[in-house]
Amino acid sequence: MKKRFAIALVVCILMAGCTDTKSRSTGVYMLLDTSGTYAVELKKAQLILNYLLGVLAPGDTLAVARIDTGSFSEKDIIAKVTFDNRPSVANNQKRAFMQQLESFVTTVKGSPYTDISGGILQAIEYLNEAESGKKYILIFSDLKEELAKGYKRDIPFQLPDYNVIALNVTKLRGDNMDPKEYLARVEDWRSKVENGGGEWGMINDMERLENIFAN
Amino acid sequence: MTFANMLNITSSPALSILIWIVLFLLALYFARRPFHQAIMSFSKIIRNALRLTAAAVLSAEQRLVLRNREVLMAAGLENAERKVEREFDRIAAAVTRDLDGYPNVHRQLSEVIIKLDEDYTTSADVPPSLPNWMPIIESIAKIEHSGDSMVANMLAEINRSLTEQNKKAIDDYRNSTAARHGILNKMMPFWRKVQKSLERISGSIDNIKKRAKTVDRTINEYEKIHAGSDEAARALSTSALTQFAIAGLVLLIAIGGALINFNLIALPMSEMVGGASYIGPFKTSDVAGLVIILVELTMGLFLMESLRITRLFPIIGAMDDKMRHRMIIVTFTLLAILAGVESALAFMRDRIAHDMEVLRQTLAGAEQMGLPPSIIPTVGQMVLGFILPFALAFVAIPLEMFVASARTVLGAGAAWLLRLMAFLLRLLGNIGFYLGRFIVNVYDLAIFPAIWLEGIIMATRGKNVDLPAAGDPEESQPVEEAVDSYEETIQIKEQQE
């Protein structure tokens, strides 16, 4: 009897040892550009977030933060959640998250500067703490960084195992006159991400959001 | 030495080429016999090695065929034993049912017979016979009297008395006869009772006779199998193949059922064990769902074993009846509980799926549909969740059939493959041998001028020309060598043994 119990115990321990709750989860950190020229695009961001809420599964992590003058701050996180393991509870969390975002979009005020790098640094910090298996940073912005005087962001990113995806990168007036500016801007961010060890991607067509998790 | 230098050994390149050709042919001519021997030896090595391998393979095939036959016969014997056992069980049940009550029937019959006997005795009382009054009355009535009133009165009185007595006697007779008829009437139900009892006993005996015939037939089959007759082997082999196909088909259907069952419970299991944990590469909820289905299947197997429908676990079949009945109750109860759990999970699944759909619609910005959700799919899923575990319990029957017949079918398949392999090995051996011969012939063809010259020289000296590769008896009988028959291979095999 004792022998059987011991075998059962060993099996249980082995099964518990095999259990992995974190490494397969997905962590998504979305940065929303709220600078004056881009704030009008936030309705589209809401669509993207609804898509993400539909796709993410129990155990996954989702956070949304704004990009403003100084984005390297927890205060800029608008909403964050790690979905419960039970689907029914996770569904309720998604509903609550959706409402939080809705109220943000309706009350958001434009910021004079755009600190994208600070936002990315904050995202790295948050997702590292969340210990997600797959990490995604989504940047909903025109990628035009404008730092306020005194802000320094010349820190190289540490992005191994990260997928950084720029969404809805709109063309500015100057880009239309000289597309090189747009291409240079995108290329600059791509090289920053890839130099940090991350994967770079860009999705401008909102009908192809499934490509976010294609990798 | 370059090709140009080779052409410059004489002033004329053509002559140089001719010299080289002659030298080359001479070299080939002198190397002819060793070359022939080398090629033929090599081809024989290939042929013999492959033939030996083929013989070994055939030997293995024979052993496998024998083993298959043993397995087939053993399975046939077991099946026949099971049939006989079943028939004996039925006979025992019939005897217990019908003849256990025989003392009671016997007592009833005795009582009825006693009653009938009593009735018969009673009805045997003969009614008083009718006195022969009528002629006396008539003769008295005819007596003439002389008008004496006293005589006349006396005669009249005698006539009246006699008439009254006659009437009374007739009445008594009729009453007695009616009483006898009444007794006989009462006997009828008893007769019928006796008849029914006898018919029942007769039916039971007929049933036992039929069973006995079936037992006889099965025993005959058993004897044939036991004797190891080819007829029995063929019948059993065909039967095994059919059983394999049917059991395989039913198992495929069962797998389909198990998959549906799995889909019913996998999602709600994530509500119980969490949807984000993994065991190895698999979701814990999926593994939990699978485990529940496997436990149900195991319970079904044990239930069928306890009922002695299958015999996959002899230890269960060998248990005493009391323990077996307990096991039946336990396994059936567990199966019913699991079916209930599945039904509840199916209900939960419907709720979760509905909730997810509503959320998806909300996220998509679609308006909620006005129609209230129907309960029919929910009830349907719950019923399905309850029934499927019981349906899966019956998988034990085709599984046993599949396992039993698979041994025969796979054995036959393996034997066929071994035969094919032996054939291919023999074929390759022959191809190797004749390839060697072909190379030798091509060689001779290349140096035919030298051989032709040899023939002329030998003819002038009056010697026979050694046209083919001389002195090799095997080469002089190419057709015989070509025959690499099955019997030959068997002979080699016997030599090996």
The nearest CA of chain A is from the CA of B403 a distance in Å of 29
- Of the candidates B54, B189, B188, B180, which has an alpha carbon nearest to the alpha carbon of residue B128? B180
B345-361 residues labelled b (16+ CB within 10 A) or e (exposed): bbbbbbebbeebeebee
Instruction: Report strand pairing: B278-279 vs A26-33.
Output: unpaired
Within this chain, do residues B386 and B243 fall inside the same structural domain, yes or no?
A: yes
pLDDT at position A94 is 93
Q: Name the minimum distance, in Å, from the CA of B364 to any CA of chain A.
A: 7
User: Which 293-332 residues of chain B touch chain A by CB within 8 A?
Assistant: none
Separation in Å, CA B68 to CA B77, B233, B304, B413 = 14, 10, 28, 10
Do B239 and B383 fall within a single domain?
Answer: yes
Kindly determine whether residue A94 and residue B270, on different chains, have CB atoms separated by under 8 Å: no
- Which residue has better confidence, B4 or A48? A48
Predicted pLDDT at A30: 94
Q: Please state, as a whole number, how many other Cβ atoms lie within 10 Å of the Cβ of residue B490.
A: 14
Could you tell me which of A44, A97, A48, A104 has the C-alpha nearest to residue A76?
A104
Its sign, for the CA torsion B469, B471, B475, B476, is positive
B379–chain A Cβ distance below 8 A for any pair: no
Whether A186 has its CB under 8 Å from any CB of chain B: the answer is no
DSSP class of residue A208? Answer: G
Extract the tokens encoding B445.
Answer: 């063809």
Q: Which domain holds residue B79?
A: 7-91+413-496
Please give, rounded to a whole number of angstroms, the shortest distance from the CA of A107 to a CA of chain B.
Answer: 20
d(CA B406, CA B245): 10
**How do the domains of chain A map onto residue ranges?**
39-213
Q: What is the pLDDT of residue B214?
A: 81
Per-residue pLDDT at B490: 58
Complex ipTM value: 0.75
- pLDDT higher at A27 or B240: A27
Q: Which residue of B has its CA nearest to A86?
A: B271
State whether B274 and A50 contact (CB < 8 Å): no
Which pLDDT belongs to residue B473? Answer: 44
What are the two backbone dihedrals, phi and then psi, of residue A19, each rounded to the nearest 5 degrees? -65, 130
Rounded to whole angstroms, the Cα distance separating A167 from A189 reads: 13
- Pair B244, B389 in one domain: yes
Same domain, B438 and B292: no
And the tokens for B272? 């119980």
> Residue B146 has what pLDDT?
65
* Closest alpha carbon within chain A to B288: A15
Number of domains composing chain B: 3
Give me the pLDDT at residue B475, please.
Answer: 46
Cα end-to-end span (Å), chain A: 50
Beta strand extents in B99-222 (DSSP E only) = none
The pLDDT tens digits for A29-47 are 999 988 876 767 888 888 8
- Contact yes or no for A95 and B277 at CB 8 A: no
The Cα-based distances of B413 to B62, B198, B408, B410 in angstroms read 13, 58, 9, 5
Residues B386 and B259 in one domain: yes
pTM: 0.63
Tens of pLDDT along A106-142?
888 888 888 899 999 999 999 999 888 899 999 998 8
Quick check: helix, strand or coil at residue A73? coil
- Is domain A39-213 in CATH 1.20.120, yes or no? no
* pLDDT band at residue A19 under the 50/70/90 scheme: low
Q: Which residue of A has its CA nearest to B277?
A: A21
Average pLDDT of each block of 10 consecutive residues along chain B (497 residues)? 74 86 89 92 93 93 89 82 80 76 78 78 64 69 70 78 81 82 78 82 82 82 78 79 92 93 89 83 90 93 91 86 92 94 91 87 72 80 91 92 88 93 94 94 90 86 56 44 53 56
Does residue B343 fall inside a structural domain?
yes
Q: Among all chains, which residue has been given the structure tokens 């230890």?
A: B315
C-alpha angle with apex B287: B285 to B291, nearest 5 degrees? 115
- Residues B144, B291 within the same domain: no
Residues B383, B266 share a domain = yes
B370 touches A: beta carbon within 8 Å:
no
Task: To the nearest 10°, report the CA torsion of A63, A69, A73, A75.
Answer: -70
How far A139 CA lies from chain B's nearest CA (Å)?
A: 21
If asked whether residues B303 and B387 sit together in one domain, one would say yes
Cross-chain Cβ contact A53/B274 below 8 Å: no
CB pairs under 8 A between A and B: 68
Q: Does residue A15 have a pLDDT over 60?
A: no
- Pairwise CB contact (< 8 Å): B359 & A91: yes
Chain A contact present for B352, CB below 8 A:
yes
Of B270, B277, B279, Cβ closest to residue A87: B270
CB-based burial label for B364 (10 Å; 0-12, 13-18, 19+):
exposed
Pairwise CA distance, residues A187 & A165, whole Å: 13
Q: Is A209:A138 a contact under the CB 8 Å cutoff?
A: no
Identify the pLDDT of residue B56: 93
Among the candidates B195, B227, B259, a domain finishes at: B227
Asked if B366 reaches chain A (Cβ–Cβ under 8 Å), the answer is no
Q: Which of A19, A51, A98 sits opposite B278 (nearest CB)?
A: A19
In a domain, B2, yes or no: no
Question: Do B242 and B380 share a domain, yes or no?
Answer: yes
Q: In which element (H, E) is residue B283 found? A: strand B282-283
